[in-house]
Amino acid sequence: MKKAKRLKGKGTGSANEQVVARRKVLKGGLALGLGAMALGSPAKAQRRPEIRWTMATSWPAAIHLHHMAEYWAKKVEEMSGGRMVVDVRPSGAIVGAFEVLDAANTGVVQAMHSWSAYWIGRNPATAFFASVPFFFTPLSHLAWVYEGGGLQLWQKIYDDLRLNVKVLPCGITHAEIVGWSHKPLRKLDDWKGLKYRAPGIWGEMLRGLGVAVTTLPAAEIYTAMERRVIDAAEFNTPYTDQLLRFHEVARFFTGPGMHQPTVLFELVINKAAWDRLPEDLKVIVEEAARATTLWGLLRDFHKSLEALDFFRRRGNQQVTVERQTQWEIYKTAMEFLKKQAEANPTFKQVLDSALAYHRRASAYEEFMTPIPVREAHRVPPQYRVL
C-alpha cells in the first residue's frame, strides 16, 4: 500500500521558504503597526485590498459554526493589514449547504467552510477529518491532523477525487449532544424505529440498528422536530443547539456525544486562488485558520457550559445513554468501520493511522491525568474539603 506523500511545509513552498515568509509577515506587521501609530489611524486604513475572496459556508448565519468562518476572515484582514478581504456568506446565499465543496472546486467561490463528513458519498474516509463515533478528543484529533500525518491523508483524498482544492483545519468543538428527542434515549430499544436526523458515518452505522435516519440541513431541523416529522435530531454542541432553539421543540437532550466526541471543521480553498496568493498571505491564511481553531474550541466550550445550565433551568430533561448500550453501539460502529476498511484501501489506510493514534493518546491521557482531575465533579465525601 502506498504511503501518503508528505507535503512540504504547509503551503506550496519549501520549509525554508515558509520560515522566510513568516518572518516577512512579522516584519511587515510591525512596520505597518508603527506607521499606523505615527499617523494616528488604523493600519487597515493604510491599504486598499489587493485580494478579495468570497467564502460560502454550510451554516445559517446565526450559529457558532458560521461565526468561525467570520472570525477567520476577520483575522485574515487584520493580519494582512487590510490587503486581503474575505466576504463570508451563509448557506443558501450563494449555494446550498451541501454544495459548497463543488463551489470551491469549480471556482464559484474562492473558499468554503464546512464539515468533511458531508462528503462520505465521495469517499467515506472523509469522516475521519470531521467526526467518527467513539474516536478522539479535540486535543488528540488536532494532534493527529497537524502532527500525526492526518492532514496529508486528508489532502490526498481530495487530490485523489480530482478536486482542485487545498484543505486546512479551521475550527473544532467538543463533543456534541447525541440527540434532542420527544422521548428518553437511554436503552438500545429506545433507538429502534426512531426517526432521527443524523449525517455522516454515524447515520450509516445507525441504520444497522434499525434507526430510520434522515439528513437535513441545520435550518430545517427545528421545523421538522416541531411538526414531529422526525422523533429526534442531533446537530452540534449545547451552545450551537441553543442558538438553533432545539430546546423549544424537544423535551429531552441526551449525552454523551458518542457519535461525535470531537467535531473538526474545514477551510477548503480553490487551488487556483491559493496559487495566486503571495507567500506572506498564504502564511496569514494558514495562521488565521489555526487561530480560528483555538478560538472556536474555547468559545464553544465556555458557552456550552452555560447552555447546559440554561436547559436544566428551563425544565428540559438531561438523559444519559446507559453504559451497556454505549458498548453495544460501539461494537456496531467498529464492525461498520471494519467492513468499510475491507472494501476501501484508502479508508483502511486512514483508519489504521487514526486508530493507532487514538489508542496511544487514550492510554497517554489515562496515565497522565489524575483521577481527581477527571472526576472533580464527584469527589468522594471522605476526600471532599472544598
DSSP per residue, 7-74: PSSSSSS-HHHHHHHHHHHHHHHHHHHHHHHHHTS-GGGG---SEEEEEEESS-TTSHHHHHHHHHHH
* CATH code for the domain defined by 28-173+262-302: 3.40.190.170
- Region 319-345: mean pLDDT is 96
376 band by pLDDT with thresholds 50, 70 and 90: very high
- Region 137-148: mean pLDDT is 98
C-alpha cell at 63: 450559529
Rounded Cα distance between 262 and 98, Å, is: 21
Which pLDDT tens digit goes with each residue over 166-179? 999 999 999 999 99
Burial class (CB in 10 A: 0-12, 13-18, 19+), 209: middle
One fold for both 28-173+262-302 and 179-259+316-368?
yes
Q: What is the pTM of this model?
A: 0.85
> In one letter, which amino acid is 133?
P
Closest residue by Cα to residue 300 from 63, 25, 9, 30: 63
What are the structural domain ranges in the chain? Answer: 28-173+262-302, 179-259+316-368
C-alpha cell at 337: 468501520
What fold, for 179-259+316-368? D-Maltodextrin-Binding Protein; domain 2 (3.40.190)
Closest residue by Cα to residue 142 from 4, 238, 262: 262
Asked if 217 and 197 touch (Cβ cutoff 8 Å), the reply is no
Which pLDDT tens digit goes with each residue over 267-313? 999 999 999 999 999 999 999 999 999 999 999 999 999 999 999 99
User: Is pLDDT at 338 greater than 70 in this prediction?
Assistant: yes
Which pLDDT tens digit goes with each residue over 56-110? 999 999 999 999 999 999 999 999 999 999 999 999 999 999 999 999 999 999 9
β strands within the chain, DSSP E: 51-57, 84-89, 111-114, 165-173, 179-181, 195-197, 212-214, 232-233, 252-255, 263-270, 317-320
Which pLDDT tens digit goes with each residue over 191-249? 999 999 998 789 888 988 899 999 898 889 999 999 999 999 999 999 999 999 999 99
129 band by pLDDT with thresholds 50, 70 and 90: very high
User: Is pLDDT at 38 greater than 80 in this prediction?
Assistant: no
